[in-house]
Chains A and B, each alone.
Chain A
Amino acid sequence: MSTFEIIGGKSLKGELTPQGAKNEALQILCATLLTPEKVTIHNIPNILDVNKLIELLSELGVNVSQESTNTYSFEAKNINLDYLNSPEFASKGSSLRGSIMIIGPLLARFGKGYIPRPGGDKIGRRRLDTHFLGFQKLGAKFNFNPNENFYRVEASELKGCYLLLDEASVTGTANIIMAAVMAKGTTTIYNAACEPYIQQLCKMLLSMGAKISGVGSNLLSIEGVSYLGGCEHRVLPDMIEIGSFIGLAVMTKSEITIKNVAYNELGMIPSAFKRLGVKMELRGDDIYIPRHENYEIETFIDGSILTVADAPWPGLTPDLLSVFLVVATQAKGSVLIHQKMFESRLFFTDKLIDMGAQIILCDPHRATVIGLNQSQGLRPTTMVSPDIRAGVALLIAALSADGKSTIHNIDQIDRGYENIDLRLNAIGASIKRISN
């Protein structure tokens, strides 16, 4: 378990370049299994979950080569399906939630896909029913043996069908799309997740020769093809990291330019920050954040207190609510943060209260923040990062607090953010990593 020692209260200044999006990369990497031809992926973030998945693909027989820091090529010519039955696979696969998405492509290309029950961080239970109900409707047989904790899906032939998903699950939609691209006939997926990373997967598959229409909507129509070819694909910048950098700039009163943000793909993230009073400028494809001495939360048109709530895309991503919450602690005005999609992500507000923030945790889903309007800064403290999203929010809080803070269990932060300490130190932060 590693630790960050942070000397906060310093203004930062300079440019930050967001890394590639982890959630996109995990899907895109699995999609390389769909073709025996070489696929090259650019802008792959160098983070643990992604590296683990690349390692797993390589052990499955995919020919992986790293062409430059964030560019890898993959050639899934000789896949070793026996590996799926091995104990190594059981232990590796279960420690990585993204690995569930190898089932769709394996099923499409080889007629079977196995996966140990996957892990991930503890932010509410995540079910995998959407994936397996989808595979079953496409004609696959599904076996789950609770004793060995292994999911096994097999099909001699996948047939296109109409699917109404029980929830607009992102990984579920991705998995079903990858299974359906080479199924016989047309698959229609309604209530499909439509966020940019699903659109990215579709763009990549289209480039490879798939036939998909409705990209960007929740109604996808996929006409199966018999073969997919190689392509070059670039992963979008991570919108969660971009949002975190915006929050960081505001809280530390810093002037920061965030480079190449793919602004058109950020949805309502910029406007949600604007509602909290944050000023930003779009320069080319960069976001410029001026120094914020103070900022004021808007109210609703009728004068009532603003609510910031998450919703499936194109709604606001749940992964940034912790950052919005931290930003609100120093704003003028009040806001209700309503975390609808997950049940235990707001408990970290305890730490912020310790640091002097005025927050009422109403229940596991809602917290009211009464902004301090910079009348007093947050106080440094010692804390433990409970999960990746709260971890970043706490890091931002610590960077804004005058004095020395300590955050334990930062491995959680490393899971989502590549070299966050080095990148922030380069523009004036003081973060010391202590590895145990």
Chain B
Amino acid sequence: MKKIKLGVILFSFFISLSTFAGAANPANGKAVKEGYEIGDKLPNIVAKSIAGNDIKLSSLEGKLVLVDFWASWCPPCRAENPRMVEAYDKFKNQNFKNGKGFTIYSFSLDTKQANWKAAVAKDKLSWDYHVSELKGWHSPTSNKFGIRSIPSNFLIDGDGIILAKNLRGEKLELILQYYQKK
């Protein structure tokens, strides 16, 4: 059953990848379009961490990164967290075809620092990259990214190219497996 699902996902990947193969290949030195669709380069994010430091998404270049939009007040997001923790632990030190290591860049649509911090601790989201503008749905970054529903996420490769979007449930792990260097 898992194999069939993986097959379906891979198939849709090949279609999307082949469409963009020409345009979005930084190895060829060609310009890559910034955008929010598979094959585009995801625009950079700069936002404050819980401690108040700027964290740039671009600082994670080279790794596979799941850019996740969530909030402590979003039960469906919280329900996804155990799977993300599992995927992070399993894949953080793995090598991929298009990135060395895997991590998560969590952008929170919280408005209250305390709630955000508590949820990160409670759900044991152990990665270092937690940011927020503490403006809820009116956060400039999530607005710019067109985020109107959460959970929403983007998986990007070491060059920041979007490999997949909105990975929920087992899909995240299946796709990481696919890109893993064996």
Contact = CB atoms under 8 A, between A and B. Distances in A.
Interface in B130-182: 137-138, 140, 143, 146-152, 165-166, 168-169
A223 B5 CA distance: 13
Contacts of B138: 260, 285
B119 interface: no
Interface stretch (B23-31, B72-80, B84-92, B120-128): B72-80
Contacts of B169: 209, 229
A38 B140 CA distance: 27
Most chain A Cβ neighbours within 10 Å, of B71, B137, B166, B168: B166
B76 A38 contact: yes
**Interface of chain B: mostly helix, strand, loop or mixed:** mixed
B53 interface: no
Contacts of B151: 207, 231
A209 B148 contact: no
B143 A203 contact: no
Interface string A269-305: 0000000000000001100000000000000000000
Interface size class of A (residues with CB under 8 A): 20 to 34
B166 A232 contact: no
Contacts of B143: 262, 264, 285
A203 B146 contact: yes
B149 A203 contact: yes
A236 B166 contact: no
Contacts of A211: 12
Counting contact residues on chain B (CB < 8 A from A), the size range is: 20 to 34
A200 to B, nearest CB: 6
B149 A233 contact: yes
A238 B51 CA distance: 37
A118 interface: no
B132 to A, nearest CB: 15
Contact of B149 (A37, A38, A232, A260): A232
Interface centre among B138, B140, B146 (most CB of A within 10 A): B146
Interface string A213-233: 100000000010000011111
A42 interface: yes
Nearest to A265: B146
Contacts of B12: 211, 223
Max count, chain A CB within 10 A of own CB: residue among B74, B143, B148? B148
A184 interface: no
A37 B75 CA distance: 10
Contact of B71 (A209, A232, A233): A232
Given A223-B12, A285-B143, A206 B148 contact: no
A39 B169 CA distance: 17
Contacts of B76: 37-39, 229-232
Contacts of A260: 138
Contacts of A103: none
A230 B149 contact: no
A231 B148 contact: no
A258 interface: no
A236 B12 CA distance: 30
Nearest to B165: A206
B149 A207 contact: yes
Contacts of A213: 16
Contact of A209 (B77, B147, B168): B168
A203 B91 CA distance: 28
Given A223-B12, A234-B137, A229 B168 contact: yes
A223 B16 CA distance: 14
A260 B79 CA distance: 30
A426 B147 CA distance: 31
Contacts of B148: 200, 203-204, 233-234, 236
Contact of A234 (B16, B73, B77, B149): B149
Contacts of B137: 42-43, 234
Nearest to A212: B166
A234 B135 CA distance: 14
Contacts of B168: 209, 229
A232 B165 contact: no
The 3 A-B pairs of least Cβ separation, nearest first, read A207-B149, A230-B76, A233-B149
Interface of A: 37-40, 42-43, 200, 203-204, 206-209, 211, 213, 223, 229-234, 236, 260, 262, 264, 284-285
Interface of B: 12, 16, 71, 73-77, 79, 137-138, 140, 143, 146-152, 165-166, 168-169
